[in-house]
Amino acid sequence: MKMKYIIVCLSFVFTTLVVAQEKYSTKNGTIVFEASVPSFEEVKAKNENVSAILNAETGDFASLVLINGFRFKVALMEEHFNENYMESSKFPKAIVKGKLKDFSASKLTEGTLNYTLEGTITIHGVTKPFETSISISKKGDSLLVESQFVLNPTDFNIEIPKIVSNKIAEEVHVSAKYSLLR
């Protein structure tokens, strides 16, 4: 009876260990986006509080960014971004969820490997299918994950008023960078 109890306990400990080991995550990832037009004020913001989780067993990846956390150089631009364009009080977060194709944790090396992420992206309450290339390299215990992609505000029902539309690029270049820890 006692033996059984110990085995149950041990198996519980081992399963939690396994579960804990297969996930890499961060709460301090960085996303920078830029939609500048030459010779106008720079339209660029940075968020250093991005969360991300990679399940190394399955290749499942998720990243969540809080819209209010984007910081601009110009305070008024930050205000307009939140209140008028992203409506961050109504839609406070953007999420990417997907799966890395042909991902295998055992193949990760110090060199950079490229994977395709297939999934969905949700911004401004609109969910769209999403595909991007993601590079991963191993650095000690952590995984350095990087991706660049282009988004189109009109795809997410984000209206840019005519008066400023010539100062904001139609294509928004996004770059994400995470250092995921086990």
Q: Would you say 86 or 172 has its CB closer to another protein?
A: 86
Question: Which of residues 113 and 144 has its CB atom nearest to another protein in the complex?
Answer: 144
Residue 24 CB, shortest distance to another protein, in Å, is: 13
Closer residue to another protein, CB minimum distance, 59 or 92: 92
How many residues would you count in the chain? 182
Minimum separation from the CB atom of position 65 to another protein (A): 9
Tokens of 119: 């999934």
- Burial zone of 96 (CB within 10 Å; 0-12 exposed, 13-18 middle, 19+ buried): buried
- For the chain, the first-to-last Cα distance in angstroms comes to 36
Residue 62, interface with another protein (CB under 8 A)?
yes
Segment lying near another protein (by CB under 8 A), choices 7-15, 64-72, 119-127, 155-163? 64-72
Q: Which of 181, 136, 179 is nearest to 30 (CA)?
A: 179
Question: Which one of residues 1, 3, 20, 75 is an interface residue with another protein (CB under 8 A)?
Answer: 75
What tokens does 30 get? Answer: 């960085």
